[in-house]
């Protein structure tokens, strides 16, 4: 990864029962896209490849179900803030901008 700044890595666990389905994926890339740093994510539990954390398709392909540990890596000037924000999002169960619609089953 290019290092126009720091490289920050953090592991987080997917706690919510439906895992990384459509809405969490979109929440994730929305947050990731606000930062300059490059973001990559790897599903440690499934020993998968690293994917682009700003890509809707690749994030879905992570197969990140409940209990999976994701390794979030950011590279760039605002890497620390990026990882902080993304980790907080995952750890909160993606309820940040949830509008609690009853039958959401993405």
Partner 1 sequence: MEILRGISVAPGVAIGEAVVLEAEDYRIPYRIVPAEGVADELSRLASAFEKSIEELDKQAVWLNAHLGHDAANVFEWHIGVLKDERLRGSIEALIRDEHAAAAYAAGTVMRKYQQRFMQMSDPLLVERIRDVQDIERRLLRNILGEAREDLAHLSKPVILVAHDLTPTQTAQLAGTMVAGVALDAGAATSHTAILLRSLGRPGVIGLNDVSARVSGGDIVIIDGANQLVIANPNDATLDEYRRREVAFVRLADELDELKNLAATTRDGHRINLFSNIEFPREALVGIAKGSDGIGLYRTEFLFLRPEGAPTEEEQFEAYTEAIRGADGRPVTIRTFDLGADKYTQQRSYEQERNPMLGLRSIRYSLQNLDMFKVQLRAILRAASHGQVRLMFPLINSLMEFRQAKMTVHDAIEDLEEAGIHVRKDIPIGMMLETPAAAIQVKEFCREVNFISVGTNDLIQYLLAVDRGNERVSQFYSPSHPAVLHVLRDVVRACTSGQVDCSVCGEMAGQPLYTLFLLGLGLQTFSMAPSNIPEVKKLVRLVTMAQARRVARRALGFETDRQVTNYLRDETRKVLPEDPI
Q: Is 21 a catalytic residue?
A: yes
Complex with partner 1: residue 3 or 49, whichever CB lies closer: 49
Q: In this chain, which of 3, 10, 12, 25 binds partner 1, going by CB under 8 A? A: 25
Tokens of residue 41, six digits:
């994510």
Nearest approach in angstroms of CB 96 to partner 1 is 15
Using CA atoms, how far apart are residues 88 and 67, in angstroms rounded to an integer?
Answer: 16
Distinct helix (H) and strand (E) counts, the chain: 3, 4
Q: Which of 1, 6, 19, 21 is catalytic?
A: 21
Interface with partner 1: number of residues (CB under 8 A): 29
Closest alpha carbon to 31 in 99, 64, 78, 70: 78
Under the binding rule (CB under 8 A), the answer on residue 104 touching partner 1 is: yes
Backbone angles phi, psi at 33, to 5 degrees: -70, -15
The first and second tokens of residue 105, run together, are 């089953």
Q: Which residues are catalytic?
A: 21
Query: Which residues are near partner 1 by CB under 8 A?
Result: 13, 15, 17-19, 21-23, 25-26, 29, 52, 54-58, 60-61, 63, 65, 67, 99, 101-106
């Amino acid at each position: 990864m290019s290092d126009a700044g720091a490289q920050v890595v953090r592991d987080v666990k997917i706690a919510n029962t439906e895992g990384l389905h459509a809405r969490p994926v979109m929440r994730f890339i929305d947050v990731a896209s606000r930062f300059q740093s490059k973001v990559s994510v790897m599903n440690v539990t499934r020993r998968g490849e690293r994917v682009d954390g700003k890509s809707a398709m690749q994030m879905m392909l992570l197969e990140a179900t409940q209990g999976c540990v994701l390794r979030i890596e950011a590279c760039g000037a605002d890497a620390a803030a990026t990882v902080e924000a993304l980790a907080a999002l995952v750890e909160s169960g993606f309820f940040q901008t949830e509008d609690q619609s009853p039958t959401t089953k993405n």
